[in-house]
Structure 1
Amino acid sequence: MKILVVQLNPIVGDLDGNTAKILASLEEGRKRGVDLVMFGELTLCGYPPEDLVYHNTFLDSMELHLERIIKGSKGIAAIVGLVRRNLGEGEKHLLNSAAVINDGHLLGFQDKWLLPTYDVFEERRYFEPGKKTQIWEIGGKRVGLIICEDIWQHAGYVGYTQYGRDPVEALVEHKPEVLLNISASPYQFQKPDIRVNVCGKAAKTLQCPVVMCCQVGANGQIIFDGYSVYVNEKGELCQLAKGFEEDAMVVDLEAELCPVPFEYETMTTLLRALELGVKDYFAKCGFSKALLGLSGGIDSALVAYIAARALGPENVLGVSMPSKYTSIGSQSDAVTLAKNLGIDFLEIPIKEPFDAFTHLLEPHFQGKKPDIAEENLQARIRGIILMALSNKHGYIVLSTGNKSEVALGYSTLYGDMCGGLGVIGDVTKTKVYDLCRHINALEKKEVILNSILDRPPSAELRPDQMDLDSLPEYGVVDNVLEGYVEDYLSIDEISEKHQIPREEVLELIQKIHLAEYKRRQGPPILRVSKKSFGVGRRYPIVQKWL
């Protein structure tokens, strides 16, 4: 039996476009002589469709497009993920399903049993769990079929919930000759080969090969990295699809294949994820040009590099907006960086508008010394300039705040927080430095200037200002941030693990909670970690726990 594993980059809601890709893949499968073409989870509508599934017209259209796919399956079998109505009993009126199609006929549906409702997933909000499993006779093989989460619990990787059923164990008595899993598994900064381990565990239990077809591409804040896998009955990786791009991989179950390694570099995959996130956000939303404040600092340097790679340097504009507090080094580094990247560059000094605002507000600030109000005023003037250029020329503003700043609220509402997308809002400050050094190593030249890497971080909103005036060292901040936000460690556990005074840990955690109201008003953030502030994390703005 030969299977064409097609990892597509669907657009949520683009039923016409997604169906066209599916039909083209079926034709490709016929040309390559395969028996079955399999697609990822909810490929027909794109994952996640969220509340689009509440519209009856959306569901009606999906049924019509499924009919087109069935008619287009002459001479070949297909497995297509989609949303369908629940015509049986249950709390929810929808099912997350895989349509099993063969030679112009719908054989039936396999419904997803385990519905994740944690982190970025909200499937129990929409779907009723599947209630049965079966064997599908395809290409002379006994085929087991499950959907995404259905395979994870068996491997022991479901940390947020305990399901009462195990779809892999339920298939043991049916003795499948191959297990297929259609998936939409998001990227996060971890070992991407974790899916190989998950498939390997199922393969050993069922004593049969396992093929997992993954989604690729970014839909809003969530990024899918692809890497569809084929493991043999021993759980050894035999084939691996490409990462971060569409791919069609032919799996021949009868071929004798030697195990292959899953080779990757963590910083390279993180960089590719961010580039894909920007590229797809712009392409799928119909945007083409990006704009950002280019301060001469490390965060804007990284965002500018990512944008230039994702969109092409000709589609990126960097704007330097020096104030009387901006150092000569920062100004010259912004100019040089723009030249290194080949992006367009503007310099718009803000001294005059700042002086005008301070003069306007002087009667109302009388008797008070300059403080954070004047600092934030500069940031907001810059935000006004960026948004004006965006409106006039059709650029989308990229926010350059990193996760450490987002966590602690070390940013200005309606100032540096403005923008259509937070590119590195899920990348800690220490990882920002690591990524920039990695970029220079990859490019084999000084793309991100050493002077930027070596300069102490500063917002440059007052004389001789340094981030360390307001914050501990970023290494300390990031240890607390990752421990508390991503791993849910207690204050004492973080303090003991990283040898940070308990009072300092508590103070940083309090700042994280106090900044919740700011984060709610910020741009969408590309999610690349275990727990992002952009999507998948929910905390009340008003609370008195800490």
Structure 2
Amino acid sequence: MADRFRITLGQLNPTVGDLAGNAALAREAWQAGKEAGADLVALPEMFITGYNAQDLVMKRAFQLDVMTHIEALAADCADGPALAIGAPWAEGTALYNAYLILKGGKIASRSLKYNLPNETVFDEVRIFDAGPLGGPYSVGNTRIGSPICEDAWHPDVAETLEETGAEFLLVPNGSPYYRNKMETRMNVMVARVIETGLPLIYLNMIGGQDDQVFDGASFALNPGGQLAMQLPAFERQITHVDLERGPEGWRVVQQDLAHLPDAWEQDYRVMVLGLRDYMHKTGFKKVLLGLSGGIDSAIVATIAVDALGADNVRCVMLPSEYTSQDSLDDAEAVAKALGCRYDYVPISEGRGAITNTLAPLFEGHEPGLTEENIQSRLRGLLLMAMSNKFGEMLLTTGNKSEVAVGYATIYGDMSGGYNPIKDMYKTRVFETCRWRNANHRDWMMGPKGEMIPDRIITKPPTAELREDQKDSDSLPDYPVLDAILDILVDQNGSIEDCVAAGFERDIAKKVEHLIYISEYKRFQSAPGPRLTKGAFWLDRRYPIVNRWRDPS
């Protein structure tokens, strides 16, 4: 009986729908495993399709194409280690989330996901059928249990695998990031190890897919919960993990442990990687954005340069008569520090033409919000024209606080294809700017040093759509607003919860009202990377037409 078992892990970045490209990544990992003398090469959940592929996997033509690529993989990888890869698996009218073991030129065995997640960003109950509680599969004379992602978050599958002879657990995952999830995952997997007494290898993918970013950070645990292997977060890795058999069974051979970044760095890297992959996977190479001299556009410009490089970022200042000299100076300073292109496009002439065109219709009506929004929509029109002309994707720059309460102009500053800070509250934007000014990492394509002048961080936020305008004219101060939003949105709490936390009932009711009446704007807003479990899109799904309000 063999006393050593080597697994090659592919912590890689698949693209949804790119079956040929994902298969090529699988072959690369398999070849590395073959050269290293691996017994098994393992890839994450649903790797061949990319994850989260949503309703695409229900399309019959797609399923057939998947099997064509799987069969070709099996044939190509016949002479060497077994290959474990996640894929949809159709049997009759049923469709499963499966983990396929390819050996000897064929599909030798398969595990079917039993616990289907049906919360936050996951709709697997609607898409897949639940597989049975199954046993382990064999590679050589070693029996391996593979609870698929959600299966490892519950005790039943792991316990069944242990009871039916599994010697260790290999958990393939498509587990997207949210803040503090790395610690949550670790705690849950330690529980599985303690319950079963088996070593556990947790394999996660990396990369951005729409709003979700997969953070990797794969690891291995020995019985008792000892951490034996830790891969870096967010980084592509093909690595080899050895297990040795002793008197008490298999144990993962101890490796050097990668350092995991803190929460501020994790969030920032998610925004950078999310934008970078969104661009790469949709075929765009360059972006542009309106650079106002405010903090939100400054951090988005910085994220864009860190993701794509300064040569691929265009910043545009579109001033009106309400744009202060400070804003003009601050926007130029950001663009200069980042080293990206900076265009100056005044809107006064265009705004005058629109005002004259509408004057006969608006006669007798006092100027107000309509005229403010015309400025924002004119900027959106000009930026979209540049996007069309130059083939550069427009980034929108609204933070989560604004997105939550609708403090943004639809078809104006909400115009764009992607929003890197969509799930970051304003108060956290301030601190993120300070973090980026003080920190630089090798994965950032932008320069070191202060990218965002301190004045941008400390001056009162304003949309500059009228004289002496401040955000606080229309909204509670951001520390109050964000704390109420955290209760109502992220915690799905009530008005009474807000009052219990020390906030005035009338202010909490106003914020709740703004959240509900802004649903139609969010429905039409650009996607952005998910940082929390309360992100707008799949995490929180409310009707657009909704007349209910908390009666408390």
Match of 1:407 in 2: 404
User: In structure 2, what residue type is equivalent to 1:438?
Assistant: W
What is the deviation of 1:55?
A: 2.3
Match of 1:540 in 2: 543
User: Equivalents in 1 of 2:226, 2:495: separation in Å?
Assistant: 41
User: Equivalents in 2 of 1:4, 1:417: separation in Å?
Assistant: 45
User: Equivalents in 2 of 1:313, 1:120: separation in Å?
Assistant: 33
- Residue 239 of structure 2 aligns to a residue whose secondary structure is strand
Alpha-carbon displacement from aligned partner over 1:394-441 (angstroms, at most 9, x marks no partner) = 010000000000000000010000001111111100110110000011
Match of 1:49 in 2: 53
- Are 1:97 and 2:98 an aligned pair? yes
Match of 1:18 in 2: 22
- Are 1:34 and 2:24 an aligned pair? no
User: Equivalents in 2 of 1:262, 1:153: separation in Å?
Assistant: 28
User: Equivalents in 1 of 2:548, 2:405: separation in Å?
Assistant: 17
User: Which segment drifts farther, 409-418 or 63-72?
Assistant: 63-72
Alpha-carbon displacement from aligned partner over 1:99-154 (angstroms, at most 9, x marks no partner) = 01223332221100011111110111110001131122224322111100001133
- Are 1:182 and 2:182 an aligned pair? no
Q: Structure 2 length normalisation: TM-score? A: 0.94
Match of 1:290 in 2: 287
Question: Does the C-alpha gap of structure 1 residues 457 and 495 become closer, same or farther in structure 2, counting only changes over 3 Å?
Answer: same
Match of 1:145 in 2: 146
- Are 1:309 and 2:306 an aligned pair? yes
Partners of 1:172 and 1:205 within 8 A in 2? no
- Residue 540 of structure 1 aligns to a residue whose secondary structure is coil
1:384-403 alignment runs, 5 A limit: 384-403=381-400
User: Equivalents in 1 of 2:197, 2:258: separation in Å?
Assistant: 21
Match of 2:87 in 1: 82
Equivalent position to 1:239, from 198, 205, 229: 229
User: Equivalents in 2 of 1:67, 1:25: separation in Å?
Assistant: 17
Match of 2:323 in 1: 326
1:432-447 alignment runs, 5 A limit: 432-443=429-440, 445-447=449-451
What is the deviation of 1:262?
A: 5.8
- Residue 238 of structure 1 aligns to a residue whose secondary structure is strand
- Residue 320 of structure 2 aligns to a residue whose secondary structure is coil
Partners of 2:135 and 2:165 within 8 A in 1? no
1:237-276 alignment runs, 5 A limit: 237-254=227-244, 256-257=253-254, 260=257, 263-276=260-273
What is the deviation of 1:363?
A: 1.9
Partners of 1:290 and 1:397 within 8 A in 2? yes
Equivalent position to 2:489, from 485, 488, 493: 485
User: In structure 2, what residue type is equivalent to 1:382?
Assistant: R
Unaligned runs of 5+ in 1: 155-165
User: Equivalents in 2 of 1:422, 1:116: separation in Å?
Assistant: 27
- Residue 317 of structure 1 aligns to a residue whose secondary structure is strand
Unaligned runs of 5+ in 2: 245-251, 441-447
- Residue 130 of structure 2 aligns to a residue whose secondary structure is coil
- Residue 131 of structure 2 aligns to a residue whose secondary structure is coil
- Are 1:129 and 2:126 an aligned pair? no
What is the deviation of 1:534?
A: 3.0
Match of 1:459 in 2: 463
User: Equivalents in 2 of 1:106, 1:86: separation in Å?
Assistant: 14
User: In structure 2, what residue type is equivalent to 1:377?
Assistant: I
User: In structure 2, what residue type is equivalent to 1:85?
Assistant: A
- Residue 55 of structure 2 aligns to a residue whose secondary structure is helix
Alpha-carbon displacement from aligned partner over 1:470-518 (angstroms, at most 9, x marks no partner) = 0001111111111111111221112212x11122111101110110011
User: Equivalents in 2 of 1:321, 1:15: separation in Å?
Assistant: 43
User: Which segment drifts farther, 14-23 or 104-113?
Assistant: 104-113
Partners of 1:26 and 1:72 within 8 A in 2? no
User: Equivalents in 2 of 1:55, 1:465: separation in Å?
Assistant: 51
- Residue 399 of structure 1 aligns to a residue whose secondary structure is coil
1:196-215 alignment runs, 5 A limit: 196-215=186-205
Match of 1:300 in 2: 297
User: In structure 1, what residue type is equivalent to 2:368?
Assistant: D
Alpha-carbon displacement from aligned partner over 1:17-75 (angstroms, at most 9, x marks no partner) = 11111011111101111111111010001011122223222111111111111112222
What is the deviation of 1:264?
A: 2.4
User: Equivalents in 1 of 2:187, 2:537: separation in Å?
Assistant: 28
What is the deviation of 1:465?
A: 0.1
Partners of 1:143 and 1:179 within 8 A in 2? yes
User: Equivalents in 2 of 1:201, 1:297: separation in Å?
Assistant: 46
Partners of 2:134 and 2:161 within 8 A in 1? yes
What is the deviation of 1:191?
A: 4.5
Which 4+ residue blocks in structure 1 deviate beyond 6 angstroms? none
- Residue 394 of structure 2 aligns to a residue whose secondary structure is strand
- Residue 118 of structure 1 aligns to a residue whose secondary structure is coil
Q: Structure 1 length normalisation: TM-score? A: 0.95
1:499-514 alignment runs, 5 A limit: 499-514=502-517
User: Equivalents in 1 of 2:132, 2:152: separation in Å?
Assistant: 16
Alpha-carbon displacement from aligned partner over 1:191-218 (angstroms, at most 9, x marks no partner) = 4232222221111111111011111101
Of all paired residues, the percent bearing the same amino acid is 40
- Are 1:416 and 2:416 an aligned pair? no
Aligned length: 530
Partners of 1:425 and 1:526 within 8 A in 2? yes
- Are 1:339 and 2:365 an aligned pair? no
What is the deviation of 1:331?
A: 0.5
Partners of 2:228 and 2:253 within 8 A in 1? no
- Residue 345 of structure 1 aligns to a residue whose secondary structure is strand
